[in-house]
Amino acid sequence: MIRCLSLLAAAAFATAVVAPVVGASADAPSPQARAAALPTLRLDGIGPLRLGMTSAAALRTGWLANRGRGCELAGDPLPFVFQFRGPRAPAGLVGIATFDGSTRKLTNISFRRGVRTATGVVAGQTTATGMVNRYKDAGFSARAQFFDTFAGTLVTVRRGGKRVVGGFANGRASARRPLATLAIPGVSICD
């Protein structure tokens, strides 16, 4: 009788606990599918936002909210930033849009999470070395350089000599840490 109860308990456990977990993992999207579903950070912008557009036009997209001050080292008038927390912004975006204090035009877009590039680089997942390799494979000029001052690796991607995409990973590229920041046209550092 003890054997029968333990077999029944095992069957009940398998039905109640193991089967749903196995079924859930089988139905869960792969990491590649999740990355493909993320918004694409293009060389000129993301979604309805484009580098060079005015802050008024950018706000009308509904993607931006929570205005803040930009880097104080940039001089007067200070740049200003908005977070990607507007009512129409895709869920999961963690980043800022930076606007020039004089022209009020969008000059930089950077993300910590929630985006990918057309080359498959994913903020918070791809390493600095992986980013360099993907962009080189796509025909861009790309390099990663460690900076002691920032204790991190800065990735610079160029096309036609012009900076178009940047990334930053904490530590050395050899540490294989994921990108902490992915930005267009490049990572802005204010320290």
What integer is the mean pLDDT of 37-64?
97
Element (H, E) at 111: strand 106-113
Lowest mean pLDDT segment, chosen from 15-29, 66-80, 133-147, 172-186: 15-29
User: What is the reported pTM?
Assistant: 0.82
Q: How confident is the model at residue 128 (pLDDT cuts 50, 70, 90)?
A: very high
What integer is the mean pLDDT of 11-29?
46
Percent of the chain with pLDDT over 70: 82
- Three-class SS of residue 135? helix
Q: Which residues, in sequence order, are CB contacts of 61 under 8 Å at separation 6+?
A: 47, 48, 49, 86, 88
